[in-house]
Amino acid sequence: MVDESSGSFRDKITNAAGKFASTRFVRAIMDAGYSVIPFSIIGAVFLILEILPQVITFNWFAVFYADTLGRFTNLFQVVYNSTMGILALIFAGTFTYSYTKIYRDEEHLNLNPLNGMLMFLMAMFITVPQLVWKSGNIQVVQSLSKTNIIGGGYAVSASGITRIAAVGIFTGLVVGWITVQVYRFTIKHNWSIKMPDSVPAGVANSFSSLIPGFCVAIVVAFLDLILIVAGTDIFKILYIPFSFISNVANTWWGFLIIIFLIHFLWWFGIHGATIISSFYTPIVLANLAANVKGASYFFAGDPMNAFVIIGGSGATFGMAMWLAFRAKSVQLKEIGKVELVPAIFNINEPILFGLPIVYNVQLLIPFICAPLASGIVGYLAIATHLVPKIRVQQPWPTPIGLSGLFATASWKGGLLSIVCALVAFAVWYPFIKHYDNTLLKQEQQQEEVEQ
């Protein structure tokens, strides 16, 4: 009876998580998260060039930098602003493109993903300007104070137009969702201009999106009007729930809950990192941009691969090295050899499914507790300013040491990455050693039976 109940519980968790991960909205967000990576890396490179004197603090280097690269810091800032400064457009634009494409392929509709993305850009810029209802008219907000510069309704800062940067990601997702649903509705009901076959495809596509584009503009403008008359706008409305979510994620206990959920799902064979990251990716991107401007968030960029799940989910880097060089059982030693190189680049599917860790009760505790331990160490080190804050989003396969170095632009971050891996292995060691001994005995008994 217990086994049946346990199996039923596992099936329910697996089915529920699988259905959620396969929803169109989540898949589109995952695509958007991947699309941001190259742009964040480009921005990070130019940011590092700009802050090199803060990384290398020798006096001779400061003089050398001022006479060379220091002459171009404003240009470096412009390039950085052209990536992280338009993050909402990149993230939500790619989301809209992917979301449109998914509907096109799965519902066999005549949707054009590029048109969907362009409609989103139009709709997004309808919502960006700050407008107010005053004296029976819509009026554009103007403010030229030092702390609040708004011209023609557009709030600006040293990074450019404020609302199209990281602060606009959540609004972008909502506007993108509305755009795709309106576009889909119009096409399903044949609200489009159809041109003769003799008309070039480019011309035909432009006219086919005319009516859907009008509908998107009307719907978004109408929603914007309602909110403006009510004394607010979509950015202010969405700030309330999403700021609450961000505040929870930015606490130490919220961060640990995220780590727990990732590994709890992975133990059931569900890619927990992919599912949970669909929720927190907008948060870490916004926090990363805030850190560059002076904030001090730990949960920014990619702290997971830099300080928590080094070697892959479960923080298995140290354990993989131990398997390859110290394991006594044939099974674990061979898995260790296979995992040796992938672990360096934070890939550990051979361990997750070959050890296995998935559905393995004997390894559940270290699989969850090791990343929790490394996460606590990483969080405390940065929260107490022993290690500089995260200002760069490093590529997730970046090897141990280098990941922390790039993320914080400091050797202290590289050292912290190594310390976190050692802490995780300390949690793993008694469990994996016991498991190795158990398998060794089983192999020896099997050999005796065969003889």
- Taking only the tens place, the pLDDT of each residue in 89-134 is 998 999 999 999 999 999 999 899 999 999 999 999 999 999 999 8
CA distance 416 to 16: 37
Token pair, residue 251, equals 């606490």
What mean pLDDT is reported for the chain?
87
| Helix (H), strand (E) at residue 361 | none
pLDDT of residue 57 exceeding 80, the answer is no
Residue 7's pLDDT band, with cuts at 50, 70 and 90, is: low
Higher pLDDT, 86 or 195: 86
Whether pTM exceeds 0.85: no
Find the mean pLDDT for residues 5-12. 62
Taking each helix axis as running N to C, give the angle between helix 272-292 and helix 24-55, from 0 to 180 degrees, rounded to the nearest 10: 40
CA 260 from centre of chain: 17
Rounded distance between C-alpha atoms, residue 14 and residue 91, angstroms: 29
The answer to whether 163 and 156 have CB atoms below 8 angstroms apart is no
166: which 2 tokens? 């990281």
Question: Which residues partner with 132 through β-bridges?
Answer: 139
Using a pLDDT cut of 90, give the percent of the chain over it: 44
The DSSP letter of residue 111 is -
User: 235 near 127, Cβ under 8 Å?
Assistant: yes
Please state, in angstroms and rounded to a whole number, the distance separating the CA atoms of residues 287 and 296: 8
Residues in the chain: 451
Examine the pLDDT at 246 and tell me if it is beyond 60: yes
Phi-psi region for residue 380, left (φ > 0), alpha (ψ -120 to 50) or beta? alpha
pLDDT for 410-420, tens place per residue?
Answer: 899 999 999 99
Q: CB neighbours (10 Å) of residue 143?
A: 11
Structure tokens at 68: 């060379």
What phi and psi values does residue 93 have, to the nearest 5 degrees?
A: -65, -45
Q: Closest by alpha carbon to 260, among 351, 149, 335, 369?
A: 369
Residue 94: its pLDDT value, please? 93
| Strand (E) or helix (H) holding 401 | none
Q: Which of 147-151, 318-322, 360-364 has the lowest mean pLDDT?
A: 147-151
**pLDDT for 309-322, tens place per residue?**
999 999 999 999 99
Higher per-residue pLDDT: 70 or 12: 70
Residue-level pLDDT at 197: 66
Q: Which of 54-68, 263-277, 423-437 has the lowest mean pLDDT?
A: 263-277
Q: Where are the alpha helices (DSSP H) in 70-209?
A: 73-81, 87-107, 113-127, 169-188, 201-208
Check whether 6 has a pLDDT greater than 80. Answer: no
